[in-house]
A and B are shown apart, each in its own frame.
Chain A
Amino acid sequence: MTSSAAHPPARRWLGPAFTTALLIGIAALLLTRGDPAVTLGIFATRFLGIFIEAAPFLLLGTAVSGLLEVFVSREDIVRWLPRSRLAAPFVGAFMGFAFPVCECGVVPVARRLFTKGLPMPVGVAFLLAAPVMNPIVLVSTYIAFGFGPLLIARFAITAAVAILVGLVFALTARPEEVLLPASLAPITGGSGAKATDRPRLGPGLIRAAQFSVDETFDMGRYLVIGALLAALMQMFVTQEQLIGIGSGPVVSVIVMQAIAFVLSVCSTVDAFLALAFTGTFTVGSISAFLTFGPMIDVKSTLMFLGVFRRRAVAYLILIPFLLTLLAGVWLNLLLR
């Protein structure tokens, strides 16, 4: 396969388009604010904050991805996972307990699993659920909110949305319509080790580290562009401006979804941030922040583009947005 085959013509404009949009945004920022040096400093601080916070999780994700590449075979994946199309998303929604990764780390892991033959609906449910449905986030949410409605809502809504989206994808699309060619499992053989031909530990680890390096550069570019975009958006729209838009049962949910999307805060720590909103916002809107944000934010959207076709990415954003919105509004009306 050649590079151009992996990046069909329709996708070739994406990189330049994002870069141009970023440069225009940064230029507008520098021209419309006071001292350009000060503005650039604030922008850099916000960007580096997101990058420094997210990079460890990306690296852990790519490390897992490298280990999977070398030590897990396609036969293993086929043996471990259910054959039923309808049961698959249920397994995917809970796979985060085996691969505890946040939204930055989950993308390289999911992509590697796809190349190993992971059924597409399992991977979709895993991708959406794992940033919340894992032990680390369970503990951090418990520490922040204790055992109560928000903890239950976060996990129940995330699981329900991930399973529903997985089912929608299972019933309406074929893998080749959803995944980019490079994310698809080959028709024969399989990526990485065969179950009967595993490498020795030492050379295997070196090989895994080298695959991880490739993955870090491939996924890292999406993280960097996403972090630049998120920092840029934050320079133009502040949290307080979004909060000022409204606090009704519907608008408050949309506002918190927007805040989650723009802030792109890691799911392992976002519960502590959500605490700050508990006095200002409705329970439904906080639950939307805690469920929609880990599934979809600026940087994860960019990273999805490295795995899925654009139309699939659009559905991956739209369906969770609508479902978490509905769940949030329902909670607001229920707890009124």
Chain B
Amino acid sequence: MHTNLPYSTPAPSRAVTIAKAALLFGLAAYFAYTIVSGSLTNYINARFAWLSYVAAILFAIGGAAALLALRGGPRTSAFGHSRTSLSMLLMLATPLVLGTLIPSRPLGVDAINGSIRVGAASYGAAEIALVSKSPLDRDILDWSRAFASEPSPSAFNGQQAKVLGFVYTEPDYPPNTFMVARFTVSCCVADASALGLPAYDASAGVLEDGTWVEVAGEFQAGDFLGQQTPVLHVAQITPVEAPAHPYLYP
């Protein structure tokens, strides 16, 4: 074994090594839990879930490597400052503490904070996929893409739709009007953005904000906050459980 390492630091104490191993196994367990419990999709696009499998495995390997270090004698380190300090341990413990103590919830109505995109939203070439999708199978994102690809809102008059989302209202919305909203997530919730379809329900009052609903009806072009856009005229609205995957993925 080579012995020419330039910087030699004292071996970390047994307690620090055990703390490192415990933290790494803890993080491995946390990642595994988010995968098994399904809460992973509260944080990232389901498309990238496999990366969390990789993380869980690598954290566990790191924990095992840290434990193996307990068997060995004094070890040299490549960096003079790479001896693990208390601040490093605390920092790596932060996600574990927050992830464990704060119940996992997807972003919902409270996270919108007035920032919601209405109607048309462009997602580039993805509009092509719409051609093969039946209107009743389209979600809010699909409809937004369809609106973006068609300049005239009245082109959707009479089209039937059934969408899932949560209720969102603002004080300046017209009477009996609300948004059926979802968050879109491209990568992780860092880029989450709320997207809504205006809906009009003449027959009843609007449900409480944040209630997950399935809304069926047909589109009619109308004015919504000064903008001409297809508005979903509600024929049936049913409160439902929040879906397992709450976000839409562009």
Measured CB to CB, the residues of A under 8 A from B are 1-3, 5-7, 15, 34-35, 38-42, 44-53, 55-57, 59-60, 63, 69, 112, 115, 144-146, 181-182, 186, 189-194, 197, 199, 203, 206, 209-218, 220-221, 224-225, 228, 230-231, 234, 238-241, 263-266, 269-270, 272-273, 275-276, 278-280
Contacts and interface: CB of A to CB of B under 8 A. Distances in A.
A144 B124 contact: yes
Given A186-B6, A197-B2, A265-B187, A60 B58 contact: yes
B66 A213 contact: yes
A49 B110 contact: no
B178 interface: no
Given A53-B187, A144-B124, A276-B193, A214 B82 contact: yes
A199 B78 CA distance: 16
Given A59-B59, A199-B1, A265-B190, 12 more contacts: A42-B111, A44-B99, A53-B48, A55-B55, A190-B4, A193-B2, A213-B65, A215-B82, A220-B91, A265-B187, A265-B188, A279-B121
20 contacts: A3-B81, A35-B110, A44-B98, A46-B189, A46-B192, A48-B99, A49-B189, A50-B189, A52-B188, A53-B43, A182-B7, A182-B82, A186-B6, A191-B6, A210-B65, A211-B78, A214-B82, A264-B190, A270-B187, A272-B186
B154 interface: no
A220 B188 contact: no
Nearest to A271: B186
A6 B192 CA distance: 39
B159 interface: no
Interface in B182-232: 184, 186-193
B229 to A, nearest CB: 15
User: Which of A51, A146, A215, A264 has the largest count of B CB atoms less than 10 A from its CB?
Assistant: A51
Given A45-B189, A231-B190, A276-B123, A224 B107 contact: no
A278 B54 contact: no
Contact of A50 (B107, B123, B190): B190
B6 A5 contact: no
B87 interface: yes
Contacts, number: 238
Given A209-B62, A224-B92, A275 B186 contact: yes
Interface residues of B, number: 80
User: Which of A34, A35, A47, A215 has the largest count of B CB atoms less than 10 A from its CB?
Assistant: A47
Given A45-B105, A45-B107, A224-B94, A218 B88 contact: yes
Contacts of B84: 214, 217-218
A234 B191 CA distance: 9
Contacts of B94: 224, 228
B88 A191 contact: no
Contacts of A6: 79-81
Contact of A41 (B61, B88, B91, B102): B102
Contacts of A41: 102-103, 105
Nearest to B148: A279
Given A69-B78, A240-B193, A279-B148, A194 B102 contact: no
B163 interface: no
Given A52-B188, A269-B186, A206 B79 contact: no
Closest A-B pairs by Cβ, 8 of them: A279-B122, A1-B80, A6-B81, A49-B189, A209-B65, A221-B91, A273-B186, A186-B6
Contact of A210 (B75, B95, B115, B148): B75
A123 to B, nearest CB: 15
B83 interface: yes
A191 B20 CA distance: 24
B87 to A, nearest CB: 6
Contacts of A181: 80
Interface string B1-30: 110111101000000000010001001000
A211 B187 CA distance: 30
User: Which of A5, A224, A270, A273 has the largest count of B CB atoms less than 10 A from its CB?
Assistant: A273
Contacts of A197: 2
Contacts of A39: 110
B42 interface: yes
User: Which of B5, B52, B82 has the largest count of A CB atoms less than 10 A from its CB?
Assistant: B82
A83 B113 CA distance: 55
A220 B92 contact: yes
A209 to B, nearest CB: 4
B153 interface: no
Contacts of B237: none
A301 B82 CA distance: 19
